[in-house]
Structure 1
């Protein structure tokens, strides 16, 4: 029995140490980010840029969204999942700053890859998701010919799925009709 007590207390100590290390690391990270973002002049007094906090709030929001968008691109989340993809983050940046060159360039450069991803979504017959993704790209460039082609392909896929469902329903109805005749 004493062995079990020792192993439990050892696990408890390890868990406590892990929590303390993570808390300390989080505090150090937070402090370093706060110091990096603070603008201090000579003798430790805040500069005029630090006094303009409301203007910096929009910039920091934009910066956060750009960082999230870059992370999403790096993780391969270009247009999916909904709510956590690069396109939505970049479009949010454009809502804050309509002329933001970084967001506009990233959206323009990633458009062809996004179209390919949407085509794969259509080919997998995830048609509602494909519709959402096409609408997402339309928010950036509503007149793009590629989107018209993808919309046509989506429509054709929907028609094909509808015909498959109708044929299956007819088969089931015919099967049920022949079973009742017997």
Structure 2
């Protein structure tokens, strides 16, 4: 005797999935129409608004980036992770507005903490990340003596890691040659 409950629950699940797919498609369609209407409204803006837009865009872009930088500082993301840290946000502000005093002051004031963070990264042997972070600080102040010291410390750490790898390779080679001789 066939079990009709299984067939009906299977049909119910199929109907439910179909309804969810239709709802998602409808949402995508609605969103794309709303975005098309918004871009049409922007294109039809008055000529007076169009001439004021570049300055406003730079200003609003800077304000957004400054807000992101403040949030990153608050969250302790000074130089890491890549793409979402205060230093990168402040440097982006300076690309939009080279003389922005807020970004310049924040970068200058946070430099010692950023250098300490880079030193911790070197001590943790995350040398590629430390290189990226040093390069990031060099974008702001390429002649800073602290960065020269950090670069030297990074170079020394790389040499130590290289010596450790060479010693490990020699140990492995010696072990494999002993095993080959034993056979």
TM-score, length of structure 2 as denominator length: 0.71
Q: How far, CA to CA, are the matches of 1:58 and 1:95 in structure 2?
A: 10
Find the residue that maps to 1:71 and give its secondary structure.
helix
User: Gaps spanning 5+ residues in structure 2: where?
Assistant: 1-47
User: Gaps spanning 5+ residues in structure 1: where?
Assistant: 1-47
What does 1:61-72 align with in structure 2 at a 5 Å threshold?
Answer: 61-72=61-72
Q: How many residues align?
A: 135
Q: How far, CA to CA, are the matches of 2:175 and 2:57 in structure 1?
A: 66
What does 1:44-63 align with in structure 2 at a 5 Å threshold?
Answer: 52-63=52-63
Corresponding residue number in structure 2 for 1:172: 172
Corresponding residue number in structure 2 for 1:124: 124
Q: How far, CA to CA, are the matches of 2:59 and 2:68 in structure 1?
A: 14
Q: Give the superposition deviation at 1:168.
A: 0.2
Corresponding residue number in structure 2 for 1:39: none
Give CA deviations for 1:16-51 in whole Å, capped at 9, x if unaligned: xxxxxxxxxxxxxxxxxxxxxxxxxxxxxxxx99x8
Q: Give the superposition deviation at 1:55.
A: 1.7
Corresponding residue number in structure 1 for 2:80: 80
Q: How far, CA to CA, are the matches of 1:55 and 1:139 in structure 2?
A: 25
Corresponding residue number in structure 2 for 1:89: 89
